[in-house]
Structure 1
């Protein structure tokens, strides 16, 4: 089992905040990218670290969950509880509150895109970006919640991991996971449009899939790294040096698939005073921040025409507040049913 005294909740909070930073630039109509994009000559943005950090942690924790789950129904039940309750609520709130920012000659209730917004987005794979007449005057037009694009890839990773259930007790599982990493690394860098047509049928981009898969599997591989604290500290230092040097040499796209998983998981597994209490203090607010921040920012831009700095200053605390509410009122309560299938199985024995 993973100790609860770790830095993962803090890291997820940081990664969610990174996404808010990058979106502040895009949604305010800034002519340039965020500070990290400018500093790295466009090699990465804060949202790059945020999204990929999420996938690395997810790969690490979800793979561990698979290794100890009672069966595939139990595995999928827990994944569905983690994703869908909060997503469904944010979609319903979007449709319910959208009339406040609606501008169209067509009455809201006669707009067909209103009625397709929830059904399409709840499928994950056939996302509807907006509702006609909503945010069409904003600098970033038509999209209500651009953050949702990653959730279909996240769920795709769950499906991929679940296929390993049948060989999870085999000695060659490490080899299979390593081959998955090598293949996703090769496809992402050298053949990102392999099977592009097949992915497009599910409205997935093959390039995004291979890229995110490589980080996700990088997190999975980290479950096999069993070292002492001194070795982990050395790896953190070396990875940091390689990461920074790679950015300076403009080759970070070759090295980040290795350096970022090492840094994220080793820092996450650590238990730093105060940082390791974030989850106990405010809960795991990261998913809520992630799915609410984009519509919050679009709404602030619509009503107040905020510049980049003001948009970030006002949207981050609002996003954290809604993330807090989402965790305590929806996500945490939903996860209270995570052992429901296991309990039913015991009662029927």
Structure 2
């Protein structure tokens, strides 16, 4: 169907807005924080050795900052994706295209890598875990970290321990999709998000010891309450068009409040309320040079899903210390992240705006 001038103009505004903010850079930084954080335990060192962990008296580590930031940004823009989608099918198609193509390739490369590092006592072709690794992880909810005989001598035995968060994010996507039942009633959506964030935040602060260990569909209660609250609050702020209220003064106040919460050992109580708007305001407070970071592509997802197996292979082959592992794995993860974006993710996202049959017809009839 031909697009109207109004639709084209709206798309141009979306593109301009996307290119004039810092979110591509923030996602890149958050991904690298996860890589840096994993360098410690994967090399056999304690996460307590992280500089930020010691500075905050154990309240913050690099991985938690990265993951929390990811879920804040995701909650904000997933709601925007929902608001722009004409139907639930289009919304879910866009979300699936963003997650599964890159995930499939990293899982495929992982199982192809297994014979090179396999040290099991039984022949690899008899190891059922090798065959179930890809389908289990591609299902998201059947997460399988280990193939016995692979990285058994490493400090951590999982091939890709980073993938556990994807099922939480996809579940939150499905939760947002429920809003299609009453998508024209924005006040009702805002009420639902406010209620959900309040319940989740209170449950996290007051009842996480009781609710944290509970599990359903492989989703641990603690992670649902912690990461989920960041996501829901990000979505809530998206409904109020936070970008209209962005100001350096507000961001500075939030940063001071975050520092005070750390100083008073209250970060775990205040982080959702303070960190969420701080991340979003930082994203919209455009900085010269930083706002053009995305012109090279969005490598953050690729960095996140490739860094763990890269680090495991480096530990297996060279047994480096934390600093050497960090220095080697960061550039390699960046390389694979950009390759994943340009060779897989970017190509898959072309299906967002066209029906599949058009690409099929083009492939079958290239002339």
Whether the TM-score (by the shorter chain) exceeds 0.5 is yes
State the shift of 1:313 in Å.
Answer: 0.2
With 256-265 and 220-229 compared, the bigger mean Cα shift is at: 220-229
The reply to whether residue 156 of structure 1 matches residue 194 of structure 2 is no
Q: Which residue of 2 aligns with 1:129?
A: 145
Alpha-carbon deviation of 1:164? 1.4
- Within the candidate set 69, 91, 97, 2:113 is matched to 97
Q: Match for residue 351 of structure 2? A: 337
Q: Residue 15 of structure 1: SS of its match in structure 2?
A: helix
Deviant stretches of 4+, over 4 Å: 193-197, 225-231, 341-344
The residue that corresponds to 2:68 in the other structure is: 52
| C-alpha contact 2:117 2:151 (8 A) present in aligned 1 | yes
Residue of structure 1 in register with 2:307 after alignment: 293
- Cα distance per residue 1:235-267 (max 9 Å; x no partner): 101110010110010001111101111111111
CA contact (8 A) 1:74 1:341 kept: no
1:193 and 1:206 in contact (8 A); partners too: no
Q: After superposition, where does 1:269-280 map in structure 2 within 5 Å? A: 269-280=284-295
- SS where residue 104 of structure 1 aligns? coil
TM-score, length basis structure 1 = 0.93
Q: In the alignment, what sits opposite 1:318?
A: 332
Match of 1:73 among 63, 82, 89: 89
2:224 maps to 209
Give 5+ residue unaligned stretches, structure 2: 1-12, 359-367
> CA offset at residue 226 of structure 1?
4.5
Q: Which residue of 2 aligns with 1:250?
A: 265
Alignment partner, residue 122 of structure 2: 106
Aligned position for 2:255? 240
State the shift of 1:176 in Å.
1.5
Number of residue-to-residue matches in the alignment: 341
* Superposition deviation, residue 341 in structure 1: 4.3
Aligned residue for 2:322?
Answer: 308
Shift of 1:225: 4.2
Cα offsets for 1:248-296 (capped at 9, x unmatched): 100011111011111111111222111111111x200000000000000
Q: Hey, what does 2:36 align to over in structure 1?
A: 21
Go from structure 1 to structure 2 and tell me whether the alpha carbon gap of 1:261 and 1:196 turns closer, same or farther (over 3 Å shift).
Answer: closer
Q: CA deviation at 1:200?
A: 2.4
Distance 1:243 1:195 in 2: 26
Equivalence for 1:347: none
Deviation at 1:108, TM superposition (A): 1.4
Instruction: Please give the alpha-carbon distance, in whole angstroms, between the structure 2 residues aligned to 1:226 and 1:99.
Output: 50
| SS at structure 2 position matched to 1:41 | coil
Aligned to 2:6: none
Contact conserved, 1:194 with 1:206, CA < 8 A, in 2?
A: no
| SS at structure 1 position matched to 2:277 | helix
- Tell me the TM-score normalised to structure 2 length: 0.89
Residues 67 and 165 of structure 1 are in contact (CA less than 8 Å); yes or no, is this contact kept in structure 2? Answer: no
1:266 aligned to 271, 277, 281, which one?
Answer: 281
Structure 1: 5+ residue runs without aligned partners? 345-349
Shift of 1:224: 3.7
Q: Secondary structure at the match of 1:172?
A: helix
RMSD of aligned alpha carbons = 1.9
CA shift at 1:231, angstroms? Answer: 5.6
Label 1:108 to 1:183 Cα distance change in 2 as closer, same or farther (>3 A): same
Query: For 1:336, what is the secondary structure of its paired residue?
Result: helix
1:162-216 CA deviation, whole Å, 9 max, x = no partner? Answer: 111222221332222111110110111122366778x624111011101111000
Alpha-carbon offset, residue 48 of structure 1: 0.5
